[in-house]
Amino acid sequence: MYCKEQARNRDYASVLKQFQIGNTYFARLMARQIYPNLMEGELGIITAHCTTHGNLMATVDFPTHGALEILMDLNFIHPLETREKWTKTGP
């Protein structure tokens, strides 16, 4: 609950800059509280932003689970390095 209250008080523009559409993110352990089938470390791509009940949310497309709405907070999803820094096998 604390994370949600903290996330609501953040600057919307800076949050959108940090969680950019088209970038790859990985699920953190707290994301499992919302989606128990989601494993920590699963990779997904942000496809959209929205606000649900005052929370800044991202629609993250996971290959194994489809599109899921997750709180735009580093405790729930975390950005990977840019793709230019990836090796041939991944991040």
In a domain, 9, yes or no: no
Q: Please tell me the distance from the alpha carbon of residue 15 to that of residue 13, in angstroms, as a whole number.
A: 5
Residue 66's pLDDT is what? 94
In a domain, 42, yes or no: yes
Burial (CB < 10 A; 0-12, 13-18, 19+), residue 31, is: buried
Q: Which domain holds residue 35?
A: 20-82
CATH of the domain at 25: 2.30.30
In a domain, 88, yes or no: no
Strand blocks (E) in 4-90 = 24-27, 43-52, 55-62, 66-71, 77-79
Residue 76's pLDDT is what? 93
In a domain, 69, yes or no: yes
Beta bridge partners of 52: 55
Each residue's pLDDT, cut to its tens digit, for the chain (91 residues) gives: 445 556 566 677 888 888 999 989 999 999 988 899 999 989 999 999 988 888 889 999 999 899 999 999 888 999 886 556 555 555 5
The domain tally of the chain equals 1
Residue 83's pLDDT is what? 59
Residue 1's pLDDT is what? 47
